[in-house]
């Protein structure tokens, strides 16, 4: 009879663990605030503030950016990606006027993305979530709207 109790406990624990698994599988999900003081922008001004919200939906992520640019204008764009490296449209105006983006999952805590304007790459980004899941560091290179090179290391704190 004891083995039945052990089996039932094992099944119950397995069910609890599997229910928590989807949240653990996507460390990018959640709300992130740009840490302007820890970030470094070369060739472009840092925004005054920015928030990124990632909503995981099965095999896809919906990513929304909201904030205030250095010149006081609004930052507001979003996209939904299957993390498969295929181009998807950006709703709103993306970085450096981008109208599409491709995002590819490298591993559980690393994504590579390429933002494009009229099919031409304008920003390539490597995003890595820290082991503790509290910080994402994005390292990006590209070309601003004046055709000048930019490099950005943005640090995002999970809220």
* pTM of the complete model: 0.83
Are the beta carbons of 25 and 47 closer than 8 angstroms? no
CATH class of 27-158: mainly beta
Per-residue pLDDT 10s for the chain (159 aa) are 454 444 345 444 444 444 444 445 899 999 999 999 999 999 999 999 999 999 999 889 999 999 999 999 999 999 999 999 999 999 999 999 999 999 999 999 999 999 999 999 999 999 999 999 999 999 999 998 888 999 999 999 999
The beta-strand segments (E) located in 2-109 are: 30-34, 40-42, 49-57, 60-68, 74-81, 84-89, 91-92, 100-107
Three-state secondary structure call for residue 24: helix
Domain boundaries, the chain: 27-158
**What pLDDT score was predicted for residue 110?**
98
């Amino acid at each position: 009879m004891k083995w039945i109790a052990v089996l039932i406990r094992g099944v119950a624990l397995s069910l609890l663990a599997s229910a928590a698994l989807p949240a653990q599988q996507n460390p990018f999900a959640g709300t992130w605030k740009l840490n302007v003081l820890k970030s470094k922008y070369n060739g472009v001004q840092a925004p005054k503030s920015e928030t990124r919200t990632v909503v995981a939906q099965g095999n896809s992520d919906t990513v929304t950016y909201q904030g205030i640019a250095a010149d006081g204008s609004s930052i507001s764009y979003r996209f939904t990606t299957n993390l498969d490296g295929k181009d998807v449209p950006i709703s709103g105006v993306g970085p450096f006027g981008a109208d599409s983006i491709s995002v590819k999952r490298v591993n559980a805590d690393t994504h590579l993305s390429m933002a494009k304007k009229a099919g031409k790459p304008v920003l390539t980004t490597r995003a890595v979530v820290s082991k503790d899941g509290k910080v994402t560091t994005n390292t990006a290179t590209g070309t601003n709207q004046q055709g000048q090179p930019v490099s950005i290391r943005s640090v995002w704190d999970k809220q």
